[in-house]
Structure 1
Amino acid sequence: MVGQDTLHLADVNPEYEQLLQAMGGKAPDLGAFPDVYTLRTFIVEAKKNMTATIGKPEGVKEEDIQVPMRDGAEITVRVYSPEKPPSGGSPLIVMFHGGGFVLGGLENEELNCRLFCERLGFVALNVDYRLAPEHVFPTPVNDCWDALKWAAAHASELNADPSKGFVVGGISAGGNMAAVCGHLARDEKLSPPLTGLFLSIPALLPKEAVPEKYKSKYLSLEQNKNAAILSERAIDLFTSNYKPDPASPLWVPFLWPTGHAHLPPTFFQICGQDPFRDEGLLFEEILREECGVKTKLDVYPGLPHSFWSLFPSMEVSRRCVEDTVRGVGWLLEQVKGR
């Protein structure tokens, strides 16, 4: 049950507590940066350091392509594919990075895409959608949906076979847009259809939109409002730059007007000290208990939002990277079990 029973998930992880003590007791808060432009440089370096902890795998080829968007622009999509592709094509995964809709780029999901390709045989697409404040809502989410539709239409050219697995995933803000795309794919009957969703630390339900019946369970924003990495002021910074329409389901997928039934199997990652914790737990509970959607849930008690990105040397961070591969592998297993 989400609510009072999950408050203990914010109790600090012992390994993380030791790291904090070594850092003088204070971890970075993205809301403390003066603007998004300074923050962008910080995030790029952090992501490069995270990727370097694993190194570049063998047997993976990478290519940047340009994909057209609905407004005539083109965005970069980095394609990771097996150097020795299997006969009949590979499963396909499309990834949207995090960064509050204002930060990040191809560096963010480099590690995951390489591992999905190397360990699970995916063709992985890393989408460099346009960012706010240069491109406010709904441009970033429209870019993600356009990229997903492009991937479905061009799968054979990518040596991919979506019938073996077709997953859309995202981290944080990317998780918001992956959830949106999952609903759009269902409602607009995307062909080939999605077989899985990967929602990591997703932003799904802003505080202004919480229905009355969930307010007693929506406690993590207040509990973790001063948490490391993603504080409430960081959320406010990102939202003020993204400028979403508060009434749009493209911003609030939790309240999707046609509901959540018949979504594909969904893999969640949730952090205990994350302001987004309870909206993620609530959404997983609704999918599983009310909609009959198969779910897999990995929870990281006592750890802040995206801890593995900024603190990759922790053992729990390395374990999280491995959990991510296993969780996406679970999505593939659901295809084989149909």
Structure 2
Amino acid sequence: MVLATASIDDPETWHLFANLDPEFSKMVEDGVKSRFHYEGPPLSLPETRARWNKMFRKDADLLLEATNGEVSEEEISIPVRDGSTVRALVYRRTCTPAQKGPLVIILHGGGFRIGNAEMEASACTGATQTYGAISVSLEYRLSPENKFPVAYEDAWDALLWLSRNASALGADLSQGFVFGGSSAGAHIVNPLVHRARDEKLEPPLTGVYLSVLPSLAPQNLTDEYKDLYRSREALKDGFTLTSKSIALPRHDFSSVESASLADWTCQFAAYFFQICGADLLRDEGLIYERELRLNYGGRTRVVVYNGLPHVFWYTHPSHSATEEFTKDTVLGLGWLLGKEV
């Protein structure tokens, strides 16, 4: 008997992506906790944010050090519509190139409530060091202090500002213009790609990076895909992300979730997806990629991490797949830029 293997081209096998990775299973058996596990007194949200920020700032410093001085980091403030500013980190090659590079903009995750620009330092330093990109890790104001649609408008305003100031930053958008995000950041990117298309952003985006994205509300699935949308229920009590932890107040993103599947397609750009097989968000990423590729002729590339949970590279960085994920991210961004190595 030939055992079935999981394939993105065969939705009936998607559930097999959830078969827990042996190395991760061993880590759990051995009591290896998530990097964010905390056994002290309960922390307030500001204290939790401060703890995460310190952790990721240390990571970013180590990543910069690992470039051996080839990549620099600059903190900038970008103005948004209500007079506030949002923080961003800009990564450039330290040697001045003869030609300006493409622009890569990435939004961090953190469930809309936690996170900072340093979280995407790995992707940004990688894109800068490998392809000469001007890479921007972009923040947005967090919930619950800032209700919907503040995070989305912050990201949109910053996207416009960066596109208009690209040359001053050292970028040439004709060389490539990539917009992406991880988890909550990818959730923000999705509708803004649609908005960029409808409002005729010039020059247009050339690539979209979506990592472990929440992309579809169950009520907005078409009949074609309802039977394929199984992971939210099957993995609701899984690792890292659960149905309880994903149940944000409706003001956080309910208006964005009201968009239909077709509303978020943009066949004018290439899409790179990273999907975790043991993630309750798995099927919405696979469905979205399938819709783009089969029904809209979109150019897509997908990497699925079999048997691994949501953002495993953050929660269990000692897992061997973390290095694979890092390499995949840089290669995927290179594919979006048309600059594979």
Amino-acid identity (%): 35
With 115-124 and 317-326 compared, the bigger mean Cα shift is at 115-124
With 170-179 and 180-189 compared, the bigger mean Cα shift is at 180-189
Spell out, residue by residue over 1:196-216, the C-alpha distance to the aligned partner (whole angstroms, 9 max, x if none): 000000111123433444221
Higher RCO (C-alpha under 8 Å, 6+ residues apart): 1
1:146 and 2:157 matched: yes
With 1-10 and 132-141 compared, the bigger mean Cα shift is at 1-10
- Aligned-partner Cα distance in 2 for 1:318–1:126: 20
Question: Aligned letter for 1:255?
Answer: L
Of residues 76, 98, 101, the one that matches 1:90 is 101
Spell out, residue by residue over 1:140-186, the C-alpha distance to the aligned partner (whole angstroms, 9 max, x if none): 01111111111110011011001111000100011111112211111
User: Counterpart in 1 of 2:293?
Assistant: 288
Of residues 8, 13, 17, the one that matches 1:5 is 13
1:137 and 2:148 matched: yes
- Aligned-partner Cα distance in 2 for 1:45–1:18: 29
Partner-residue secondary structure (3-state), 1:115: helix
Q: What is the total number of aligned residue pairs between the two structures? A: 327
With 185-194 and 291-300 compared, the bigger mean Cα shift is at 185-194
1:189 and 2:200 matched: yes
Of residues 267, 270, 295, the one that matches 2:272 is 267
User: Counterpart in 2 of 1:329?
Assistant: 334
Q: CA RMSD in A?
A: 2.5
Alignment of 1:64-79 (within 5 A): 64-79=75-90
- Aligned-partner Cα distance in 2 for 1:52–1:223: 39
Partner-residue secondary structure (3-state), 1:231: coil
- Aligned-partner Cα distance in 1 for 2:318–2:284: 28
- Once the 2 structures are TM-superposed, how far is the Cα of residue 29 of structure 1 from its aligned partner? 9.1
In the alignment, structure 1 segments of 5+ residues that lack a partner are: none
Question: Aligned letter for 1:44?
Answer: N
With 43-52 and 161-170 compared, the bigger mean Cα shift is at 43-52
In the alignment, structure 2 segments of 5+ residues that lack a partner are: 1-8
- Aligned-partner Cα distance in 2 for 1:175–1:278: 15
- Once the 2 structures are TM-superposed, how far is the Cα of residue 118 of structure 1 from its aligned partner? 1.2
Question: Aligned letter for 2:311?
Answer: S
User: Counterpart in 2 of 1:166?
Assistant: 177
Spell out, residue by residue over 1:202-256, the C-alpha distance to the aligned partner (whole angstroms, 9 max, x if none): 11112343344422111000111111111111101xx21x61463x3x3455535
- Once the 2 structures are TM-superposed, how far is the Cα of residue 50 of structure 1 from its aligned partner? 5.3
1:224 and 2:235 matched: yes
CA contact (8 A) 1:78 1:125 kept: yes
- Shift of the 2–145 alpha-carbon distance from structure 1 to 2, 3 Å rule, reads farther
User: Counterpart in 1 of 2:6?
Assistant: none
CA contact (8 A) 2:221 2:260 kept: no
TM-score of the two chains, using structure 1 as the length reference:
0.89
- Aligned-partner Cα distance in 2 for 1:311–1:323: 17
- Shift of the 12–177 alpha-carbon distance from structure 1 to 2, 3 Å rule, reads same
TM-score of the two chains, using structure 2 as the length reference:
0.88
Question: Aligned letter for 1:280?
Answer: G
